[in-house]
Amino acid sequence: MRALLWLLLAAGDPRAQLEALKARKAAEETAARLLADRERSILDTLGEAEEALATAESEGRQAEAERLRSERRVVEARAEEAEAQARLEARLAELRPRLAARQRLGRLGELRLLVTAGSLSELVKRRALLDRVLKHDLAAFQGAREALADRERARSARQAEAVRLAALAAAARERQAEAAARREERRTLLGAVRNAKALHERAAVEAAGQGQKLAEFIAALPPPRAGAQSHTGFVQLRGRLPRPADGPVEVGFGRVVNPRFNTVTVQKGVDIGARQGDPVRAVAPGRVAHAGWFRGYGNLVIVDHGDGWHTLVAHLASMKTAMGEEVEAGTLLGTVGDTGSLKGPYLYFEIRDKGRPVDPMAWLAR
């Protein structure tokens, strides 16, 4: 991101320079606040940065989608204008020779045509033919006027949509710049936590506290509704569970020593080295007991498999399920991300027996 920002600065676009400087200023101010406010929760600060980033990215996607819709409307209006122009030209091509013939005939010519009739019936017939010709010409003229009005309406619509498109494009650029600033702010926050030992240790303590709160949260989850599908037999799946996402187990269950700061944390699950955006799936049938944000775990999905067994997948980029939904093994729960994560994108996976964490490696198929 920093390289991109400085490339924009070097490009010489004043607006790009301004947005890049804003992004850098916001990132540095956030890092300064985090480093100065020693009493503030690191997880809360990270959560606020992630919420601001998610909002900015959502607004950016909405602005871009509206810009694309407006772009399509401009194309449609241009096609309507071309179609109306073609109709107008066709009407005019039909009218020109007829109007020229009528001009040559003139009013006296019509009179001569009538008075030279040899009989009353011939006179009536000629009068009727002239009226039909006149009616046809008037209809063609009216069609030309309508085609002209259609063209002008289509042209006005195209011009108005073009003006709107320009405004939407500017708004989309602003939202994208805001998202870039928020991404840089979050990156700076994570960098500060990873590089400062005191901040890293505080984050580890906060994470441990959140682990206890998560256990309390699971213990307080409501039982299945009356009539809901009953799930049993999870214990028989020991050693045969599929992984919730593709990737190696990078950090195992139990005590983990940070090689840089020599700090010790206790893992109640495993870290799976999955890629950003990879699908995350249920490992066994069950009911979604929770699907939402949880401090320190980001987007968290908990599946109740019955008999007190739960599986958890955390730090999801997106969630594709909702609380109370019945799922089967392989049902899509969400995608891999880094929400609430101090490590970057990966999947955190837990198995709990009546709220007590167990080592997932004994349950996963080899």
253 and 175 part of one domain: no
228-252 confidence digits (pLDDT tens): 677 778 999 999 999 999 999 999 9
Q: Which residue has the higher pLDDT, 126 or 239?
A: 239
- Alpha-carbon distance of 9 to 190, in angstroms, equals 24
Residue 104 has pLDDT above 50, yes or no: yes
Among 141, 169, 195, give the residue marking a domain's end: 195
Q: Given this model, what pLDDT does residue 205 score?
A: 76
Determine the structural domain holding residue 348 and report its residue range.
237-362
The 8-class DSSP code of residue 323 comes to: T
For residue 290, give the CATH number of its domain: 2.70.70.10
pLDDT above 50: residue 8: no
Task: List, as one string, the DSSP characters of 230-281.
Answer: P---GGGGTTTBPPSSSS-EEE-SEEEE-TTT--EEEESSEEE-PPTT-EEE
Which amino acid would we find at residue 288? V
Based on the domain organization, do 269 and 131 belong to the same domain?
no
34 vs 215 pLDDT, higher one: 215
Looking at the fold, whether 191 and 245 belong to one and the same domain comes out as no
Q: How much is the average pLDDT of 203-218?
A: 82
Could you tell me if 182 and 253 lie in one domain?
no
- Report the candidate in 347, 16, 346, 25 with the shortest Cα–Cα distance to residue 182: 25
Amino acid at 179: A
Q: What is the mean pLDDT of residues 11-28?
A: 59
Does residue 146 or residue 255 have the better pLDDT? 255
Which tops the pLDDT comparison, 89 or 330? 330
Residue 148, domain CATH: 1.10.287
Let me know if residue 7 belongs to a domain.
yes
Residue 205 lies in a domain: no
- Residue 123 is predicted with a pLDDT of 60
- Token pair 């010790």: residue: 264
Among 161, 195, 229, identify where a domain stops. 195
Residues 103 and 243 placed together within one structural domain of the fold: no
| pLDDT exceeds cutoff 70 at 30 | no
| In a domain? residue 229 | no
Judgement on whether residues 52 and 172 belong to the same structural domain of the protein: yes
**Average pLDDT for 72-88:** 79
Do residues 51 and 186 both lie within one domain?
yes
Provide, rounded to the nearest whole percent, the portion of the chain with pLDDT above 70. 75
Q: Which of 144, 164, 195 is the C-terminal boundary of a domain?
A: 195
Q: Of all residues in the chain, what percent carry a pLDDT higher than 90? A: 27
151 and 86, same structural domain?
Answer: yes
**Terminus-to-terminus CA distance in the chain, angstroms?**
38
146 inside domain = yes
* pLDDT score of 11: 46
The model scores a pTM over 0.85: no
In a domain, 221, yes or no: no
Q: Which amino acid is at 319?
A: M
Does residue 202 fall inside a structural domain? no
Structure tokens at 53: 């980033």
Helix intervals (H) in the chain: 2-11, 14-36, 42-115, 120-195, 197-219
Task: Identify which of 306, 301, 307 has the alpha carbon closest to the alpha carbon of residue 289.
Answer: 301
Phi-psi region of 340 (alpha: psi -120 to 50; beta: other; left: phi over 0): left
HEC sequence for 187-219: HHHHHHHHHCHHHHHHHHHHHHHHHHHHHHHHH
Same domain, 190 and 249: no
272 is a domain residue: yes
Token pair recorded at residue 207: 């994470």
Query: Do 44 and 160 fall within a single domain?
Result: yes
Q: Cα 287–288–289 angle (5° rounding)? A: 105
Mean pLDDT for the stretch of residues 75-90: 78
Q: Determine the Cα–Cα distance for residues 184 and 2; give it in Å rounded to an integer.
A: 8
Per-residue pLDDT at 9: 41
Cα distance between residue 19 and residue 180, in whole Å: 9
Looking at per-residue confidence, does 356 or 85 come out higher? 356
Query: Residues 174-192: what's their mean pLDDT?
Result: 74
- Report the interhelical angle of 14-36 vs 120-195 (nearest 10°): 40
139 lies in the same domain as 270: no
In a domain, 223, yes or no: no
pLDDT, the chain, mean: 78
Question: What's the structural domain count of the chain?
Answer: 2
pLDDT tens sequence across 129-145: 666 766 776 666 676 67
> Do 167 and 244 fall into the same domain?
no
